[in-house]
Amino acid sequence: MTPIKVACVEDNTSLRKRFEEQFEFFDDIQLVATFATGEAALNALRKSAPSKLPDIVLMDIELPGMSGIDTTIAIKELFPDIDVMMFTVFEDELKIFHAIQAGAAGYLLKDDPIEDVAQAIRELHAGGAPMSQSIARTVLSFLRTRNNMSGKDSLIGSVHEPVEFDLSVRELELLQGLVQGETYQTLAKKLFISPHTVKTHIKNIYKKLHVHSRALAVRVALDRGLV
């Protein structure tokens, strides 16, 4: 199996070194590059052959010079097939949503165990949108607050506008899990199905809800009272 190629943009030297050491223990994940700044990462990516580009970039938010969010925007504009996962100490609601708006497909905290980081990388590479559970709760709280304050002014229209999404019972169960911040592995165990089946259902949910990320799926679910 071809390893998932990962690059890391992190200004903390000791943390970069720790990544280099810890990722050696995973056969299916290869840390191909580390960078201290967003500018250095972008310069290296521009010079890389397509076959050498990483599949996933772990991105710190607070970087010297170009911020992690601005670097994410630039990466997604230049290399739309590269997934970016924010990896930071910040649980601030606005920073989370700015990262998502910039194109980040996942959001982890730096104190998450390396095993959880590795699993999140696998999930992201498989088409998921992993978040630390505390981040997922923050997102959920923020969305509920926005819903209560904004009335009709939502990402997808009026909260009261009737929409039929034709979700199956199983898909509604999985959507509830997404809202609660559950991982694909946890959902598979709870529902006694395989992780592959979970991924298939999630892709169908995204298609029916007309979204392309976990955050927006959660927003639709709350706006429309689906869970």
**Residue 18's CATH number:** 3.40.50.2300
Tell me: do 93 and 194 sit in the same domain: no
Q: Are residues 51 and 119 in the same domain?
A: yes
The residue ranking higher by pLDDT, 181 or 151, is 181
> pLDDT tier at 92 (50, 70, 90 boundaries)?
low
Q: What is the pLDDT of residues 13-40, one digit of tens each?
A: 999 999 899 999 999 999 999 999 999 9
Residue 49's φ and ψ, nearest 5 degrees, are -70, 150
Sheet containing 29-35: order of strands: 29-35, 4-9, 56-59, 83-88, 106-109
- Comparison of pLDDT for 144 and 219, the residue scoring more: 219
Please state, in angstroms and rounded to a whole number, the distance separating the CA atoms of residues 59 and 37: 10
What pLDDT sits at residue 141?
Answer: 65
pLDDT in the model for residue 170: 92
Residues 123 and 40 in one domain: yes
Q: Does 54 reside within a domain?
A: yes
Domain hosting 22: range is: 4-130
pLDDT at 176 over 80: yes
Q: Distances from the Cα of 35 to the Cαs of 8, 25, 151, 224, in angstroms?
A: 6, 21, 43, 42
User: CB atoms < 10 A from the CB of 27, how many?
Assistant: 8
pLDDT at 216: 75
Our measurement of the distance from residue 101's CA atom to the centroid of its chain's CA atoms, rounded to an integer in Å, reads 11
Over 60: is that where the pLDDT of 159 sits? no
Shared domain check, 18 and 109: yes
Q: Same domain for 118 and 168?
A: no
Q: pLDDT at position 155, please?
A: 43
- Regarding whether 61 and 17 lie in a shared domain, the answer is yes
